[in-house]
Each structure stands twice: as C-alpha cells, then as structure tokens.
C-alpha cells in the first residue's frame, strides 16, 4: 500500500498493518495529509483495496510461494535483541494470550495456506460489497479542511459527535471498557 499511495503523494504518513484490538483481528490503513480531506483519502484507500483483486488474480503460483516463503523466514527470525523479545513476551502477557510461540504457530499455519485461501479471505472480509466486510473509518478533520465534504457521507455511515455518549450506548464496547477498567 505504501508504494501505491505514496506514489500519489497523498500524505506525510502512509501505512497499513494488521491489528489486534480486544482479540479481534483487523487491518489498519492510515493516511495523514495536510493537503487532502479525509473523504478523499478514504476514497483512495477504497480504490487501493479494490485494486488488490487485479494484483491477486495476476499473481502466479511461483511468486505466491516466494512471498509465502519469505514471510515464513521473517516470522522465524530470532529477535534482534533482548529488548524486542521482552516486548513481544510482555505483549502476550498484557493481552492475556500467553502464546509465546505465536510466530512459530503462524509460520506453521502459513505453510498450509494456498493462493485461493488468500483470494477467498480478501473477497469475504476486505472487499466491498461482501456482507462480512466490516469497516470502521475514523476521519479527523484538520483546522484548514473544507467541511463541505463532510456532509457527503454515505447512508451507512454513523457520525459520532459525542464520544462519551457513543461509548455508553454500545453494550459490547461498554462491557469491554468496564472489564478493562476493572483489571487495572
């Protein structure tokens, strides 16, 4: 993603990465820009996600296996320092997962993944209009942004103006927040 969106010079921070929040696996796209408004940036991210279909369809089996092998090697690399290893272990403890061999388990699972598995996952969970595709878009408008674009929202978008009220209105989120606060 960085290469595609960086070529367009969309922002000064452009990245994507997997993310685990409250044990829910997700994928995070982040673009920070002083030139473009959040609605435009969201459109470019959506365009990038949709363009992945062509990339996946055009990927030959040998290239897929090379990418897979490279990722397995990366997962099985030794931590570069005690500091990295400590942070990795503490991350498991804080999340209460205690999977200290997570990278080894991921590498083992990755050995069995085929190109069609990745395409099916992409079509099911990442690509619109799949019914299982879920997205949370957080748009932060800078002080110089044009607010006219903010009113051109899609009908399925929920704008949160009062964060405290939103947190309390969501029973699942409220339970998670209360659970987290009680463990402190």
**Residues in CB range of 159: below 8 A, 6 or more apart:** 153
Average pLDDT on 172-178 reads 49
Of the pLDDT bands very low, low, confident and very high (cuts 50, 70, 90), residue 116 is very high
Mean pLDDT over the full length of the chain:
82
CATH of the domain at 87: 3.30.830.10
Q: Could you tell me if residue 184 is inside a domain?
A: no
* Angstrom distances, CA of residue 165 to CA of 158, 168, 174: 13, 5, 10
Element (DSSP H or E) covering residue 76 = helix 61-76
Average pLDDT on 35-57 reads 89
Can you give the residue range of the structural domain that contains 39? 2-159
Bigger pLDDT: 155 or 124?
124
For 135: left if phi > 0, alpha if psi spans -120 to 50, otherwise beta; the answer is beta
User: For residue 172, what pLDDT is reported?
Assistant: 55
CB-CB contact of 17 with 31 (8 Å): no
Q: Could you tell me if residue 134 is inside a domain?
A: yes
Q: Could you tell me if residue 180 is inside a domain?
A: no
pLDDT of 48 over the 70 cut = yes
Q: Could you tell me if residue 169 is inside a domain?
A: no
């Amino acid at each position: 993603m960085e290469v595609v969106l960086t070529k367009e010079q969309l922002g000064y921070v452009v990245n994507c990465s997997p993310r685990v929040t409250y044990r829910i696996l997700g994928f995070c796209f982040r673009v920070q820009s002083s030139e473009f408004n959040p609605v435009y940036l969201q459109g470019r991210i959506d365009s990038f996600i949709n363009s992945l279909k062509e990339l996946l369809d055009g990927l030959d089996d040998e290239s897929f296996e090379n990418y897979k092998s490279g990722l397995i090697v990366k997962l099985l690399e030794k931590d570069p320092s005690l500091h990295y290893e400590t942070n990795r272990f503490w991350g498991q403890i804080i999340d209460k997962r205690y999977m200290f061999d997570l990278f080894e388990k991921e590498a083992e699972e990755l050995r069995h993944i085929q190109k069609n598995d990745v395409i099916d996952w992409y079509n099911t969970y990442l690509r619109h209009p799949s019914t299982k595709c879920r997205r949370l878009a957080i748009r932060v408008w800078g002080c110089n942004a044009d607010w006219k674009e903010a009113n051109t929202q899609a009908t399925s978008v929920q704008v949160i103006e009062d964060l405290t009220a939103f947190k309390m209105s969501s029973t699942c989120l409220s339970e998670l927040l209360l659970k987290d606060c009680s463990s402190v």
